[in-house]
Structures are given as structure tokens and as C-alpha cells.
Amino acid sequence: MRLDKLIVEQFGLSRRTAQKAVRRGQVEVAGRCCLEPGQEVEPGTPLAYDPNRPRPGTAARRLRVLYEDRHILIVDKPAGLLTQPTQARERDTLLEWAGRYLARKHGLDRPYLGIVHRLDQDTSGVILLVTASRALRLFQAVFRAHTIERNYLAVVEGVFLTSSGRIDMPLVADRGDGRHGVARILSQGFPAVTHFEVIESFGQVASQVACRFETGRTHQIRIYLAEIGHQVVVDPVYRPRSGPKFPVPFPRQALHAQALGFLHPLTEEAIRVEAPLPPDLTDLVAELRHRF
């Protein structure tokens, strides 16, 4: 069941209040803060709600800059933070954080920021923002041409039969239920390719895998891994709801954008940046090693 629905039932809140409480960090799932109202949670999972709990502090949520020049800003996005506002006009987004950072550093009232690609709210890791208008189209072209290295790390369910492989299935924006997915009629989908390599297996329960894009479609890695029976741990969309509960509680989808590499279209410099695995995923891997 969705987390916000469980909160409504357990604490008597309205649906909207429940969603706000989750996004403000006032809800814990099995002892861990969860910032995604749509997270699927098994009935009976311990929940805690503290309406007086403050938002995570500024120091703990400070923008972590991985690379910066006069054209771009590359940062390590924490899980739970939107890349940019949705129709609900959220104020606490990566775009807002980056704007404040640039305003403080350069003394600008309204610093320019352009979005070239996005990460899901609950995916952590490397993301590039454009800070000069003349660079936007150039970097959009780099991403469209797929001449960019994009590597992800994921903890997924099950154990692979092969240590590495290539997944090549066309994707569609609507697979029939309003969600992105694999095209059932090949001619109707957009081409997409992902390469994977198993880093570590944890008994028969889970695996840590590295994934590399040849293309970059929405939810590409999550869709592909679920399609081959190795869904990302706690994926709220593509994990089958009828499946057994994952044995180690985790508050978000276990996916991290590890590295980004490209040839800078303005300086012609080869750039490659990495974001280390965040503490929650490090703890998950350690727990799986210990138990399985």
C-alpha cells in the first residue's frame, strides 16, 4: 500500500497533509526517514510520525558541488530532492539549492540555470546543470547524441545467471497503464540500450550491479531491470506488488547515478566526475553482506 495511504489510516491525517508530512521528513518507515509519499509499504511495517520534527538542517542538506566552470555546475543530488518543481510548485528543489549557491558565490540576484537531464526524486547522484544560456543547446545536443558516459549503481532483487550483459528493448512512454515501459510492438518503441555488470551478490536475495547507458530514456534502468526479473530494491513503480516483501527495509529505490563523463562542447576538455555511494546505500550493502 502507498505510504501516504497508510499514514492516513494510522494517524488520521488527510491525504494532502500526509503527503506534506512525508516530504517534510516527518515520517519514518521502519526507523528510516522516507521522503516519497508514493513509496509502497507492506502493511504492518512500523511507521512513526512526528509533526514537530524540523526539516533536515541546512548543513546536512548543503549542495555538494563536484565540478564547476563558467558554463556548468555538476552536483551530487541527495535522494528525496526533486530536480525541479512539479505542477505543485515545490520550493525545496535542486534548482532552488543551485540558485542559492550561485547567488551567494557570485552575488547574482537571479543566476541563470538550465536543466539538461533529470534524476528521479529518490535517485541520488551526479547531475549536470547549465549556468550560461549559450551552453544550454550545446549540452542538450551532447545528451541527444548519447555521446556522454552515464554510469549507475543499483541494488536489485535476485541473483543474475551471467556476470554481465546487454539489454536492448525499445521503450514507450505509455505501456498501457500510463507508465513508461517496454514496447510490445517493436516498431512502436524508441531504441534504448543498457549494459550491466554484477559487482556483488548477496546469497540468493539481491545483487549490486553497475549499469551503463548507451541511450538515456525515462526510467530506462528501472524498467529494464524489472523486465528481466531483477527489479531495483523498493522501486515504487516497477516492482511487482504481488511479490514478497524485500527482507531488508529500505526507504527509497536503491539507485545511484555514480558517474558522468563527456567532452565539454565549449572548452573541449574531457570531463568525468563521480559521486560516492551515499550512506544509506552503503548501509544497505553492508546489511546484505552481513545477513546473506
202 and 288 Cβ atoms separated by less than 8 Å: yes
C-alpha span between 141 and 191 (Å, rounded) = 18
C-alpha cell read off for 269: 576538455
C-alpha cell read off for 204: 540468493
**What does DSSP say about strands 255-263 and 124-130: parallel, antiparallel, or unpaired?**
parallel
**What does DSSP say about strands 171-172 and 124-130: parallel, antiparallel, or unpaired?**
unpaired
> 278: helix, coil or strand?
coil
Residue 234: partners with Cβ closer than 8 Å, 6 or more residues away: 39, 40, 246, 250, 251, 252, 253, 254
* Active-site position among 120, 122, 235, 280: 120
> 86: helix, coil or strand?
coil
120 catalytic per annotation: yes
Active site residues: 120
